[in-house]
Amino acid sequence: MKIEENFKDLYEQIRQIADTRIDLFKLDLVEKLSRLIYLIILFLVILIIVSIIMVFLSLTGASFFGNITGSSTLGYLIITGAYLFLFILLLTNRKKWLLNPILRQIAAVFFQNSDNNENA
């Protein structure tokens, strides 16, 4: 009878430990997903602000080059050429400049403090 009670107590303790580990995993997942969502929202806000700034700088640059060349069309063409050059440069280096940093950032969110969680 005593052995049976010990097994029941052991089973209950193992079950409680498993439930606690599952809850810890859920909390850790929520924290990491929250960080990831924060980074995505931050990136989108920065992207919107930079886009607005770029529109105004583009219009200013086109006007500036238009005044220098005497043709507003040529000013806009120069700015378009600059953007085309930047696009081609970004396209040829997209893995090094975009993909790898994004993957490193996501990996940092999900694998940060992994040593601390293993000891818990």
Domain count, the chain: 1
Is the pTM for the entire model greater than 0.75? Answer: no
pLDDT at 17 over 70: yes
Average pLDDT over residues 77-85: 96
Average pLDDT over residues 29-47: 94
Nearest Cα neighbor of 77 from 87, 86, 66, 90 is 66
In order, the DSSP letters of 61-117 are HHHHHHHHHT-HHHHHHHHHHHHHHHHHHHHHTHIIIIIHHHHHHHHHHHHTTHHHH
Domain around 20: 2-119
CB proximity list for 109: less than 8 A, separation 6 or greater: 32, 35, 36, 39
